[in-house]
Amino acid sequence: MENQGASEGRENAERRIERLSSHLGARALIKENQLAMVSCAKVMVKFPVSSVVLADYMKGDHKCIEEKIFQYFRDHPELQTPVEIPKDEHRELTMRQLKGLVRDAGIRPLKYLLEDPAQYFAVTEAAGAIDLSLGIKLGVQFSLWGGSVMNLGTQRHRDKYYAAIDNLDYTGCFAMTELHHGSNVQGIQTTAKFDPNTDEFVINTPNEGATKWWIGNAAVHGKFASVFARLILPSEECAHGLDMGVHAFIVPIRDIESHKPLPGVEIRDCGYKVGLNGVDNGALRFHSVRIPRENLLNRFGDVSRDGQYTSSLPTINKRFAATLGELVGGRVGLACGSVGVLKMAVTIAVRYSLLRQQFGPPKQPEISILDYQSQQHKLMPMLASAYAFHFATVYLVGKYADMKKSLDEQVIADVHALSAGLKAYVTSYTAKSLSVCREACGGHGYAAVNRFGILRNDHDIFQTFEGDNTVLLQQVAADLLKQYKEKFQGGTFNVTWNYLRDTMSTYLSEANPVIARREGEDHLRDPKFQLDAFRYRTSRLLHSAAVRLRKHSKTLGSFEAWNRCLNHLLILAESHIESVILARFIEIVNSCKDRNARAVLKLLCDLYALERIWKDIGSYRNVDYVAPNKAKAILRLTEYLSFEVRSVARELVDAFGIPDFVLRAPIGMQSGQYTEYTQFVGF
Ligand SMILES: Cc1cc2nc3c(=O)[nH]c(=O)nc-3n(C[C@H](O)[C@H](O)[C@H](O)COP(=O)(O)OP(=O)(O)OC[C@H]3O[C@@H](n4cnc5c(N)ncnc54)[C@H](O)[C@@H]3O)c2cc1C
């Protein structure tokens, strides 16, 4: 029975390969002994690529800082997080890890954040690889608490707080979210009322719903918080005072020496979470807590000694946008951290899939599970995506650094939308991929020691904090629509959206029936075809969304019209982000000097592009942008490219450069053997 099944399996596989080979015409891959060759893809490696060359090209200058962090933890095994650790111990260990990095290893995240953001984001990715709790705790201390003081405050705040935040003497929190208001930050209710008699602000939690909730560093370690509250000025006309909108204030929450909560500050622990238990999230309530006037972070709005409000920005909305705009660094960090998680998950899954053998042709050795087309289909596009996202986030980090230097309005708008879109897109993708990787590793993927469960739990919330993904994608869509509208009023697109200027006119003409039927490999692997297809889809979605919104607005009003088109708008935003990622990947391929590395990157880029087109093939078919046979050719080529990527999969994951002790999952170790795993259970 079994033999018959295996023989049928072999025949099927042979037929499949034959079909694939004949479809690819001159590129017939496999002639005699097909399965033997499939199961031993090494013999047909066409890309003798060096993982070192690839790693150098990917990481550039930041390899050193990453290596420094890894070396520090390699030298301090007592600081590595064990698989099983209770919450309170985990929190203390995370704090020790952070102090070790800053005070012992000499890593200065706040300095990098302000002077060399690319260095800062490389640090967050490496720290997150050690333990995502560490990456997040670092982000809370330096990007959220430190970043809010440095970016929303002025020189007096920098002078007073920089050094102590940098060396962790002043540990702090970022207290924005309230029990009743998360995504809708403008709805928060905590108040900061100016008292001209004492020259102080009085911070109050007016009701239960205004309790600050989920605040990182609050439950145990924080001494300060940047508290977001409505600034209220006394007014003769209005008994409740004048509401000037949301501002940020530095509020000490614990005594510097004794670390006890200060009078009027109530602190509670948010307790065990699904993941990230090394971060001490807490809840805060304020009862008439008095802080000096200069604790207002006054870059975008200030109050004088006599209670007069001044701002360079004319409206509450503009001030609010400027305030939140300064906080995009957190999103950039999450996008980078999420790519780091994806790289770890793919590395574990690929190494294990190469090692693991199940079934095989009769009387022949079992084959590696990565030789199954289904496994390639699960993991190879994911590997290609990890590369695509890596280069996209490097691009984002570069733009973020430009923005910090130039303060150019167009760059600012561009970075806001791009960071929102990439954060949302990448974290959603990684969250889904973690489950796919777990499943791809079978039962052993379920052992906690093999990391998928921990990574999945820790990473899951990346989709929500620093802006819920669904809300962020709407910001991308809103920005696209704004620019679309301006374009038709004679304006220009921002740098990242520039392509829409050209493709919009292409879209408005009919799909080209000749191109729709071209299905040769050269055509499908032509970056022009791929990018045109991505951009065509975005332009089409943008145009149709604008038309629908206009129509519904007339009867429903703009809020309801937006809601009526919401799914459409989310797809538009994702489509745009995919276009940006692909465009960047194509540039990266073209500028790679090493011939072999370039060939492999091109392979990955093609796989990324064609798999995305295939995933949305319905949209292309609906408008005959892709004829039926072309659609089939795209699928076949995607399968074939996955097969080719498989032959260099090991080198590709090695190029991520994640050392075994960081990866920690025994089934993902470089040795590619079971030894570490069996040792783990005590053999
Ligand atoms: C572990 C953790 C750490 C955190 N750390 C901090 C911190 O240090 N400081 C801090 O201030 N906050 C922190 N937060 C809070 C976090 O930023 C918020 O959870 C986040 O902004 C989302 O808000 P919410 O939870 O209220 O969700 P909601 O805004 O209530 O969203 C719930 C659901 O409604 C949907 N939704 C909401 N609005 C819309 C809309 N307009 N259109 C369509 N769908 C919508 C969302 O997509 C989501 O699925 C943390 C949260 C967690 C869990």
pLDDT digits (tens, 9 = 90+) for 520-562: 999 999 999 999 999 999 999 999 999 999 999 999 999 999 9
Considering only CA atoms, which of 459, 475, 385, 397 is closest in space to residue 427? 459
The alpha helices in 441-526, defined as continuous H runs, are 452-460, 469-488, 499-508, 513-517, 521-524
Tell me if residue 32 is catalytic. Answer: no
> What pLDDT score does 8 carry?
47
Neighbours of 130 (CB within 10 A): 22
Nearest-10 Cα torsion for 70, 72, 73, 76: 160
469 C-alpha vs ligand 1 centroid, how far in Å? Answer: 9
Alpha carbon distance 89, 246 (integer Å)? 36
- Whole-number Cα distances in Å, 72 to 75, 113, 379: 5, 21, 32
Nearest-10 Cα torsion for 237, 241, 247, 252: 150
Residue range 665-669: mean pLDDT, rounded: 93
| Candidate of 90, 227, 471, 565 to mutate for ligand 1, largest count of ligand atoms within 8 Å of Cβ | 471
The H or E element spanning position 565 is none
Ligand 1: nearest atom to the Cα of 176: 11
Alpha carbon distance 626, 214 (integer Å)? 48
With a 6 Å cutoff on the Cβ, whether 461 touches ligand 1 is yes
| Candidate of 138, 144, 177 to mutate for ligand 1, largest count of ligand atoms within 8 Å of Cβ | 177
What spatial distance separates the first Cα and last Cα of the chain, rounded to whole Å?
36
Average pLDDT of the residues of the chain:
91
Is the pLDDT at 142 greater than 70, yes or no?
yes
Is the pLDDT at 33 greater than 60, yes or no?
no
- Whole-number Cα distances in Å, 322 to 311, 313, 318: 11, 9, 6
pLDDT bracket for residue 506 (50, 70, 90): low
pLDDT bracket for residue 673 (50, 70, 90): confident
Backbone angles phi, psi at 305, to 5 degrees: -55, -35
474 C-alpha vs ligand 1 centroid, how far in Å? Answer: 14
With 0-12 CB in 10 A as exposed, 13-18 as middle and 19+ as buried, what is 616?
middle
Q: Quote the distance between the C-alpha of residue 576 and its chain's center.
A: 16
Is the pLDDT at 668 greater than 60, yes or no?
yes
Is the pLDDT at 680 greater than 80, yes or no?
yes
Is the pLDDT at 3 greater than 60, yes or no?
no
471 C-alpha vs ligand 1 centroid, how far in Å? Answer: 9
Ligand 1: nearest atom to the Cα of 467: 21
pLDDT bracket for residue 2 (50, 70, 90): very low
pLDDT, tens digit (0-9, with 9 covering 90-100), for 40-89: 344 455 678 889 999 989 887 778 999 999 999 999 999 999 999 999 99
Ligand 1: nearest atom to the Cα of 184: 29
Ranking 1-10, 261-270, 562-571, 599-608 by mean pLDDT, the lowest is 1-10
Output DSSP code: residue 48: -
pLDDT bracket for residue 39 (50, 70, 90): very low
* DSSP per position, 49-69: --HHHHHHHHHGGGHHHHHHH
pLDDT bracket for residue 38 (50, 70, 90): very low
With a 6 Å cutoff on the Cβ, whether 219 touches ligand 1 is no
pLDDT, tens digit (0-9, with 9 covering 90-100), for 587-601: 999 999 999 999 999
Residue range 389-413: mean pLDDT, rounded: 91
Is the pLDDT at 137 greater than 70, yes or no?
yes
Alpha carbon distance 583, 98 (integer Å)? 37
Residue range 598-623: mean pLDDT, rounded: 97
Length of the chain: 683
Considering only CA atoms, which of 469, 408, 414, 404 is closest in space to residue 118? 404
Q: Are 188 and 181 in contact (CB under 8 A)?
A: yes
174 C-alpha vs ligand 1 centroid, how far in Å? Answer: 14
Task: Give the list of residues 6+ apart from residue 180 with CB closer than 8 angstroms, or none.
Answer: 187, 189, 209, 210
Whose Cα sits closest to atom 16 in ligand 1? 465
> What pLDDT score does 237 carry?
85
With 0-12 CB in 10 A as exposed, 13-18 as middle and 19+ as buried, what is 106?
exposed
Ligand 1: nearest atom to the Cα of 183: 29
Which one from 200, 294, 466, 521 is the annotated catalytic residue? 466
Ligand 1: nearest atom to the Cα of 279: 1
Whose Cα sits closest to atom 31 in ligand 1? 183
With a 6 Å cutoff on the Cβ, whether 385 touches ligand 1 is no
255 SS3 class: coil
Q: Are 63 and 619 in contact (CB under 8 A)?
A: no
With a 6 Å cutoff on the Cβ, whether 214 touches ligand 1 is yes
Percent of the chain with pLDDT over 70: 90
With a 6 Å cutoff on the Cβ, whether 471 touches ligand 1 is yes
With a 6 Å cutoff on the Cβ, whether 174 touches ligand 1 is yes
> What pLDDT score does 508 carry?
61
Considering only CA atoms, which of 537, 546, 535 is closest in space to residue 502? 535
Whose Cα sits closest to atom 45 in ligand 1? 471
With a 6 Å cutoff on the Cβ, whether 177 touches ligand 1 is yes
The pTM of the full predicted model, rounded to 2 decimals, is 0.92
Alpha carbon distance 201, 195 (integer Å)? 6
Buried-state track 150-165, b at ≥16 Cβ within 10 A, e below 16? bbbbeeebeebbbeeb
Alpha carbon distance 344, 665 (integer Å)? 9
579 C-alpha vs ligand 1 centroid, how far in Å? Answer: 27
Long-range contacts from 111-115, C-beta under 8 angstroms, 24+ separation: 111/166, 113/142, 113/143, 113/146, 113/147, 113/150, 113/329, 114/150
188 C-alpha vs ligand 1 centroid, how far in Å? Answer: 13
Ranking 147-151, 199-203, 239-243, 580-584 by mean pLDDT, the lowest is 239-243
Is the pLDDT at 31 greater than 90, yes or no?
no
pLDDT bracket for residue 490 (50, 70, 90): low
Neighbours of 320 (CB within 10 A): 18
Residue range 112-118: mean pLDDT, rounded: 95
Is the pLDDT at 6 greater than 80, yes or no?
no
Alpha carbon distance 540, 233 (integer Å)? 48
> What pLDDT score does 502 carry?
67
Is the pLDDT at 131 greater than 70, yes or no?
yes
24 C-alpha vs ligand 1 centroid, how far in Å? Answer: 48
